[in-house]
Amino acid sequence: MTDPKPLPSRSERPWWRDAVTYQIYIRSFADANGDGKGDVNGIRTRLPYLKQLGVDALWITPWYPSPQIDHGYDVADYMDIEPEYGTLEQAELLIKETHEHGMKLLVDIVPNHSSDKHVWFQEALKSQPGSPARDRYMFRDGKGKDGELPPNNWQAVFGGPAWERVRGIDGKLEQWYLHLFAVEQPDFNWENSEVRTYFEKVLMFWLDRGVDGFRIDVAHGMVKMAGLPDVVAPDPKAEMLAPENRPFWDQDGVHEIYRQWRKILDSYPGDRMAVAEAWVSPASRIARYLRHDELANSFNFDFLSAPWEPVMLKKMIDRSMQALQEVGAPSSWVFNNHDVVRSVDRFDLDLTPGKANTTLERQGDPAKFNIARGTRRARAGALLMLALPGGAYVYQGEELALPEAREIPEDRLTDPRWSLSKHTDRGRDGCRVPLPWRSESEGAFGFSTNSALTPTEAWLPQSSTWGSFAVNLQDKDPDSTLNLYRNALAIRRSEPELGDGQMTWLNAGSLVLAFTRSDDFACYVNFGPAIDLPAGSEILVSSSPIEGNSLPSDTAVWLRLNKK
């Protein structure tokens, strides 16, 4: 390992080395026009809340015109706003107002695939095999006597084959196209220079409007292995975090794209950046996306996928720190997003050793679920994450300790995973239910300005318990999870050594993760029975109440050391 270069001070280094970024799933954040779906103006009304929370940046999930098959990740037009969500003018106002509140704003860019309603795909369907219009996507002839078999054995992430056969203009079945996700999400052909130029224009379109950066969807997927070879031992469905290399993930060619994008980002003032959604492992593969001429951040999904257990978490932290140090990049810690079971639930799952992705399982037995324990752990996890060197990503509702919504009736499930898995995977709706802003049920617990809207009439039905997590209640309760996040983020801001930098592990026993960030700042996370905290230390914040000097189980604390 090379010696880390000394970092410039926090005010002198790019903001994205330290930032805590809040992910807004726009459809479920706040509904200003009363239709039961979140929108751009809803976000605008909540900027003071986000400012008070203390985050540095916002990431908004796709807000472009879209048939909403995958809730915006099926983009029909990359340079406009979905009419259900508002207008381009409102989006421009949001960008400006976010800046006035002292925060940055990232938009989500979806370059691996478009919607099948994108003009280019519609044109491709009407064009001949081999035509320039077809070449923008991944059309191939089928195998078998009449091309009736898919071109290879790839499976889609959402389940089922990754190929769909189309009919020609004469109505006869002919070529197939690749869709690594839903059938309605055809993959672009990134060997095509028009595709590359188009996305450069998309980046500039939003950069010109003042966005500070991009979250890149499926950043490890755009380039496919030449010849599109079969997967040797295919999974029933492709996993994003593949157990071994796949011909459609993490190919070397993606890095050339990011080198080009970095030049575009750097041609604008103000440390514009991009964060990769690259489900790659181990961390040394992540580091490749963060070389000095590529991207700024990449989510640490190894950390997110780790169970609530100190050995595995420590291993993931160490690996990330070492690998990213090699390329001089900061780590980006994350426990929640719109694709995974909320940490309140995940951290309470029984652990089955050796089972990959156990912590991302959506099913589980709700009867065995202990929400108090899950919440306690999620709160401790928050202090762990926010004390680690680098930046962090917080998903809306995480600051309210929202659990997974498990009781959504089957006929209200909307995630394409549900239908494409032939109703074996309930999908991701449980972590996407609209936020409760007020404890009274009117307006879907304050989610909507339409007071007549009931909790079950929101676009995804809210659980009957949602009111007990509401912002207005948590605001008043000094011990609420909302106030825990506010306190931790305020301390993080005032402690110059937090954010990016170094950490030093302390030995506090095998069931404790303990580390210092400076001579006088330490974080202790206890996974086992109560332990004594170092004598003479002052508690800055704790995830659960602490009596005397004893740190109880499933509790984290930030300490000022050596206080006399």
Name the minimum Å distance from CB 113 to ligand NOJ: 7
Quick one: 62 or 151, whose CB is closer to ligand NOJ? 62
Strands 521-526 and 555-560: antiparallel
Burial group, residue 87, by CB count within 10 angstroms (0-12, 13-18, 19+)? middle
Closest residue to ligand NOJ, based on beta-carbon distance: 73
Q: Which helix (H) or strand (E) holds 319?
A: helix 310-326
Strands 512-518 and 521-526: antiparallel
Residue type, 445: F
How far, in Å, CA of 382 to CA of 564, rounded? Answer: 28
Quick one: 184 or 554, whose CB is closer to ligand NOJ? 184
Quick one: 213 or 443, whose CB is closer to ligand NOJ? 213
Q: Which of 470, 453, 350 is nearest to 402 (CA)?
A: 470
Tell me the CA distances in angstroms from 329 to 13, 279, 287, 294, 299, one per residue in order.
12, 17, 8, 10, 12
Q: Which of 397, 542, 377 is nearest to 471 (CA)?
A: 397
Name the minimum Å distance from CB 191 to ligand NOJ: 20
Lookup: tokens for 129: 């095999």
CB neighbours (10 Å) of residue 401?
Answer: 23
CB neighbours (10 Å) of residue 544?
Answer: 19
Q: Are 473 and 465 in contact (CB under 8 A)?
A: no
Q: Are 484 and 401 in contact (CB under 8 A)?
A: no
Quick one: 70 or 135, whose CB is closer to ligand NOJ? 70
Q: Which of 133, 136, 132, 127 is nearest to 197 (CA)?
A: 136
Quick one: 58 or 383, whose CB is closer to ligand NOJ? 58
Quick one: 136 or 215, whose CB is closer to ligand NOJ? 215
Look up tokens 């549900």; give the residue: 418
CB neighbours (10 Å) of residue 12?
Answer: 7
Name the minimum Å distance from CB 108 to ligand NOJ: 8
Look up tokens 């030995």; give the residue: 507
How far, in Å, CA of 274 to CA of 263, rounded? Answer: 12
Q: Which residues pair with 551 in a beta bridge?
A: 531
Q: Is the dihedral of CA 494, 499, 505, 508 positive or negative?
A: positive
Residue type, 285: R
Active site residue ranges: 217, 277
Name the minimum Å distance from CB 70 to ligand NOJ: 5
Name the minimum Å distance from CB 339 to ligand NOJ: 5
Quick one: 56 or 70, whose CB is closer to ligand NOJ? 70
Q: Are 120 and 136 in contact (CB under 8 A)?
A: yes
Query: Which DSSP category does 159 fall into?
Result: S
Name the minimum Å distance from CB 125 to ligand NOJ: 21
Quick one: 393 or 524, whose CB is closer to ligand NOJ? 393
Name the minimum Å distance from CB 17 to ligand NOJ: 23
Quick one: 261 or 527, whose CB is closer to ligand NOJ? 261
Quick one: 402 or 431, whose CB is closer to ligand NOJ? 431
Residue 142 CA, chain-centre distance (Å), reads 35
List of residues contacting ligand NOJ (CB under 6 A): 70, 73, 110, 181, 217-218, 277, 338-339
Name the minimum Å distance from CB 255 to ligand NOJ: 19
**Dihedral (Cα; 25, 26, 27, 32), 10-degree rounding:** 140
Tell me the CA distances in angstroms from 120 to 127, 136, 139, 201, 435, one per residue in order.
10, 8, 13, 15, 36
Burial string for 96-113 (b: 16+ CB within 10 Å, else e) reads eebeeeebbbbbbbbbbb
Name the minimum Å distance from CB 277 to ligand NOJ: 6
Q: Which residues pair with 31 in a beta bridge?
A: 448
